[in-house]
Every structure is written in structure tokens, then in C-alpha cells.
Amino acid sequence: MKLQKILNHLQKLHPKEIDLSLHRIKDLCEKLGNPQDKIKAISVVGTNGKQSTINAIFSILKEAKISCNVYTSPHIQNINERFIFNNQKLNDGELIDLFEEVEKINDKNPLTFFEALSACYFYKAAKYPNNINLIEAGLFHRFDATNVLKKNLASVVCSISKDHLDWLPTDQKTIEKIIFEKTSSLLNSNIIVSKQNSRDTTDCIKKTISKNSSNKLFFNEDFSFSKGENGFFYYEDKYGGLKLPLPNILGQFQLENISSAIATIRLLDMDIKNEDIKKAITKIDNTARLQEIKSGKLKDLVKDNTLLLDGSHNEDGSRVLNEYLKTLDCNKHVIVGMMANKDHKKYISYFKDISSLTTVDIPNQPNSVSGKKLKEIFKDLSNVEYKESIEMAVKSIPLEKDDLLLITGSLYLAGEVLNLN
């Protein structure tokens, strides 16, 4: 309860949830002794694949016995997930101590919630100067609270597509504007650009970072992968090729994220053995990323049928999710819940040949769209039902042998599923 009380306090320090600016976080960091200047960081920006890429890098570094700190957002089940130090999540008591210490120094000055959390992360990270920090950018990056670093080891640019358009001016809701916001202020070090969803996107990124003096690597030009047979894939860059086991995480797009992670690790010459990479990619955390739920209350309801959970929530996320679903020869049933500020029609447009679609409310999320309204938005689709709760939705679907059930549409929904299960 004490942790929730201080979180409530931090959420009320600023009247807005998001206020894109750097002056508040910079002022607080200066009071804290500029801890962000004392860490070794790999920054990860983009629209989709940031968390998965960080998870892959983290898994490799851990396998190589390298200590890491990790800062990601949003969390799935609890806020502790956002704060990893020395390869371990902080417990509630450690978080309370950290938040109270930083807020005492801040002295109730206005900060958005994300700015407060970011300052707390940097403050704690500076106590581990030899650790590698894996830092996920929040909204866009240019005016994001993580963009106070003056130097870093590398920046990874994951797949960029349209999302969070409600934060852009009406006449600037373009992919070019999003690319500018995410990449124009990258630091001069090393830039690794992951596979993008079109050549035009890659070309726009190249143009935007053309004056950046970083060493730059681009997918399919400087590193690549190819799918092999018998459970293997092949990774290739200027340092040579690697024959690797297929990872424990599902989907072709995850091979793209893993390739970017490997490219980053090899570029930084961290003396990591190929054997460490081979072992690590079979141990990647896949929470809410095409995660198969193998036990628990909801799994008991579907019995022998496959239950998948995925937190994708935008058009490009839906596209790659459905590329994976197309590889499966079975009936697919989908339960979906979404936040209000998403493009619901474009998200669902990629779901072809599904046997049923059930909309649900996302509990504890006032900024979500109601399941009833979502059903109305999807009224042109056949076989759409609404159920008030996740559990009711799962119970309502008449699964036959070998049918698959997927729950998707939001990371917040994924968190509720995991908490319920």
C-alpha cells in the first residue's frame, strides 16, 4: 500500500500525463548530480519491437555474465518490471526507498509521472557505473525524458510506423514526422537500424540521420538473417556468419529483433562468445509477446487448446502478428480489448479468416475503449460478440480440437490477463 501511495503522489506532480519537454527532467537531474552522465547506455527507440530487442540484448549479456540495468515502459503486471538493476527487479521496499529519496530532492516540483520514473532510474543506475544500461525510449524520443544522455554506446532504431498520432499536430500526422521525432536527436556513437516495414521508411531514416556522425548499420545491408531448416536460422554480418537455434519466442519478426540485438552486441566488441549468443536466444523473456499461456485459470478453461497472449496494439503490430497466424493451420478465435486512442479499424483489418471475434472491456483502464463500443466499431465484421470480462469471453467461445485462442489488442489487457490467470 505504501508503494501505491507514493506512486499516486508522483502521478499528481503535474496536471498532464504527458507534457513533451526536457527542461523539468534536466532540472531534476542537475539536482541529483547529473547521474545520466555517469552510465554506459544502449538506447532503443522505435514503434514496435523495442521491448523484444531489449529482452534479446539482456538475455545475451546475462548469458555472458555481464551485469545490466534495464529501464522499459509500460509495465505489464507491476511497476517493478521497469526497474532492473544488476540483472534483478527491484522489490517494493527498494522502489519505495528510491522514489522517496528522489522526491525529497525534487521537493514537489512539477514532473510528469514518466519524468519522475526516469529520474529515479538514472539516479539508481549511477550507483552501478560498470553496468550496461538498456534504456527504452518512451513517447517519440526527441522530447522524451530518456533523451537527457550526452553520450551512449549505441542507439537501436526498431521498426517505426504510425502510432500515438493523437500527440502530433493535425497537419503532421505522418510517418516522416514520426521518424524525425524518433531519430533526429540520436547521439553520435553507433546506430543500428532494424528491419523496417518498407524501403521508403528505411530511406527516410537514412535521410533524417544523414548528418549524424555515428557508425551506422542497416538491416539487409550490414547484417541480415535467413531461415534454415531443422530448427535453425543463419545470422550474417561483417564479422562472419552464425548458425543459431530458433529462439524460444514465436514469429518471424522476432528473428528481426534478435538480429538487431546480435548486430549491436557484435558491433560493440564486448568479448561475448558465440556460444553465449546461441544459448541466450533460447531464453528470451516473451511476456505478452506471442506468449503461450501454459497453466493457470484461463488455461484450465481452454484445456488442451493453445492459448496465446500478445500485447500488439497498432497497425504494424497487427500486421506482423497476423503474418505469424497465417502460418498456423487451425481455426483461430480472437479476444480483443484496446485503448481509446488507437486506430481500431486498421488494427483489426489484418485479422483475416478468423472463426470468431469477441470484444472485452479492459479492467482498471479509464482510457480504454469499452468492449461494447469496440463491437460497434467492428460491426461490418461477421461473428463479433461482446463480453464484459476476459473470463466470460474465454468461457463463451466453443473451442474444438486444435483450435487456437488469441487474446490481444493492448499491453494493458495483457497485464490484466496475466494477473487474472
pLDDT recorded at residue 378: 95
Going by pLDDT thresholds of 50, 70 and 90, the confidence category of residue 266 is very high
pLDDT recorded at residue 395: 97
Is residue 307 predicted with pLDDT exceeding 90?
yes
How many Å apart are CA 370 and CA 373, to the nearest integer? 5
Same domain, 186 and 328: no
Average pLDDT over residues 241-257: 96
Cβ–Cβ under 8 Å, residues 220 and 260 = no
In a domain, 286, yes or no: no
What the block records as the C-alpha cell of 412 is 494493458
Is residue 70 predicted with pLDDT exceeding 90?
yes
Going by pLDDT thresholds of 50, 70 and 90, the confidence category of residue 353 is confident
In which domain, by residue range, is 150 found?
Answer: 2-280
Per cent of the chain over pLDDT 90 is 90
Count CA atoms closer than 13 A to 296's CA, side-chain side. 13
In a domain, 112, yes or no: yes
In a domain, 66, yes or no: yes
Is residue 222 predicted with pLDDT exceeding 80?
yes
Is residue 169 predicted with pLDDT exceeding 90?
no
pLDDT recorded at residue 406: 98
Is residue 357 predicted with pLDDT exceeding 90?
yes
Q: CB atoms < 10 A from the CB of 8, how many?
A: 9
Same domain, 250 and 324: no
Convert the pLDDT of each residue in 87-101 to its tens digit: 999 999 999 999 999
Cβ–Cβ under 8 Å, residues 146 and 118 = yes
Same domain, 205 and 238: yes
Beta bridge partners of 307: 405
Residues 6+ apart with CB under 8 A from 220: 195
Going by pLDDT thresholds of 50, 70 and 90, the confidence category of residue 45 is very high
Same domain, 299 and 270: no
Average pLDDT over residues 240-263: 96
How many Å apart are CA 121 and CA 174, to the nearest integer? 32
Same domain, 249 and 295: no
Q: What is the CATH number of the domain that holds 384?
A: 3.90.190.20
- Domain's final residue, options 224, 250, 280: 280
Same domain, 235 and 306: no
In a domain, 106, yes or no: yes
- Domain's final residue, options 219, 251, 280: 280
In a domain, 285, yes or no: no
Residue 245, Cβ density class (10 Å: 0-12 exposed, 13-18 middle, ≥19 buried): middle
In a domain, 86, yes or no: yes
CA distances from 309 to 218, 314, 336, 411 (A): 31, 15, 10, 10
Count up the domains in the chain and report the number: 2
Going by pLDDT thresholds of 50, 70 and 90, the confidence category of residue 254 is very high
Q: What is the CATH number of the domain that holds 179?
A: 3.40.1190.10
Question: Cell 498532464 maps to which residue?
Answer: 16
Same domain, 35 and 94: yes
Is residue 163 predicted with pLDDT exceeding 80?
no
Going by pLDDT thresholds of 50, 70 and 90, the confidence category of residue 57 is very high
Same domain, 406 and 260: no
Is residue 387 predicted with pLDDT exceeding 80?
yes
Count CA atoms closer than 13 A to 333's CA, side-chain side. 21
Residues 155, 157, 163, 165, Cα dihedral to 10°: 60
3-class secondary-structure state, position 205: helix
Same domain, 97 and 190: yes
In a domain, 351, yes or no: yes
Convert the pLDDT of each residue in 113-129 to its tens digit: 999 999 999 999 999 99
Count CA atoms closer than 13 A to 355's CA, side-chain side. 15
Same domain, 273 and 244: yes
Same domain, 295 and 276: no
In a domain, 255, yes or no: yes
pLDDT recorded at residue 19: 86
pLDDT recorded at residue 171: 79
pLDDT recorded at residue 173: 83
Same domain, 296 and 273: no
Angle, helix 92-106 to helix 23-31, in steps of 10 degrees:
100
- Domain's final residue, options 226, 252, 280: 280
What the block records as the C-alpha cell of 414 is 495483457
Going by pLDDT thresholds of 50, 70 and 90, the confidence category of residue 228 is confident
